[in-house]
Amino acid sequence: MTKALIYISWPVKAWSIPDAHAAALRERFSDVVFVQTDARDEVRRLIADVDIAFTPALTPESVAAAARLRWVHSPAAAVEGLLPLSDLAARDIIVTNSRGVQAIPIAEHVMGGLLALARRLDRTLAAQREKRWIQNELSDSDKWPWMLHSRRMTIVGLGTIGVEIARRADAFGMHVTGVRKRLDQPSPSFVNRVVGADHLDEALRGCDVLVLSAPGVAATHRMIGAAQLALLNPGAVVVNVARGQVIDTDALCRGLETGLLGGAVLDVFDREPLDESSPLWSLPNVVITPHSSGFRQSHWDEVIALFSDNLRRFQRGERLRNVVDLAAGY
């Protein structure tokens, strides 16, 4: 009989599997034995005789102890918690992820952050709480408010999340350029131009809104620094829903402080929670959210649906969805 380990426990409640969803898996798959733990120190013992691990985090010790392990499914899109991936590759253990599950909420979050900046909603909400009518204050600059329409957006990381962002940006009348590694994939009709990572500088020139949605792997570490930010149009806005390490935070802060950049929408940071001493907290025209762009009520319904489909495929010996390239890391 197939045996599966469920280990999905985080300090963030939204990313920890609810009991009801674990119970739903047991009900759907009566022919699968599920063992579950919330304790990291129990994983090595429990994983010893399972065929499947449904988890975002494994250690080299637990992988070494998993003599029967054949498949790992991450409830997240990122797989950096499954370390090292080379150990899994050496054992021919298949890794799949939940790529695409968070694409729409994150895309909506991006557009919401941009609208908050463009329409100066921070000021109007503050005035609302103070019962102040601020029409003149909202038009006291030739730079604000501004429209998304006709702006040029560059999306670095045109994967499932980037595509959904592009779809919405196009609906707002924006001109979208996508940067992706895999140029053999078809280009969406709502993306005006797609270039490879080797043409990043070209894609950044003349950009009004830079969106980072690339995977957090070695190849993308600090790929956006001072030189890249200088290529953007003056007053451009940077949006990061990728990983904090994709951008040089010091260069980002300098750009915001000097006026080179007009604003930022930041959901991810080098260290989380963001330290209280970070200048990002108090910089004007910055929207900070606590790595919450993927939050929504239906998250676990969709994760469980994807895992269930893959589990049925696994039982039938069929190709699984969302197989991770372990060499690339995504």
**Beta carbons within 8 Å of 320's beta carbon, 6+ residues apart:** 71, 94, 96, 310, 313, 314
Distance set, CA 284 to CA 172, 259, 279, 287 (Å): 25, 10, 10, 9
8 Å CB contact between 254 and 224: no
DSSP code of residue 244: G
Q: Of 205, 272, 312, 318, which residue is the catalytic one? A: 272
The verdict on whether 199 is a catalytic residue reads no
- C-alpha atoms less than 13 angstroms from C-alpha of 3 in its C-beta half-sphere: 11
Token pair belonging to 166: 């592009």
Token pair recorded at residue 26: 């047991």
The question of whether 276 is a catalytic residue gets the answer no
**Which of the following is catalytic: 151, 152, 168, 243?**
243
Looking at residue 44, its amino acid is R
Strand partners, 195: 179
Cα–Cα distance measured from residue 232 to residue 251, given in angstroms and rounded to the nearest whole number: 13
132 is catalytic: no
| Residues across the chain | 330
At a CB cut-off of 8 Å and minimum separation 6, what does 265 contact?
Answer: 110, 113, 114, 116, 117, 237, 238, 239, 240, 286, 287, 289
* Residues 72, 95 contacting (CB under 8 angstroms): yes
Sequence-separated (6 or more) residues with CB below 8 Å from residue 126: none
DSSP string, 260-322: SEEEEEES--SSSSPPTT-GGGT-TTEEE--S-TT--TTHHHHHHHHHHHHHHHHHHTPPPSS
Among 291, 313, 318, 321, the active-site one is: 291
Task: Give the CB-side neighbour count of residue 68, counting CA atoms within 13 A.
Answer: 14
Q: Which residues are catalytic?
A: 243, 272, 291
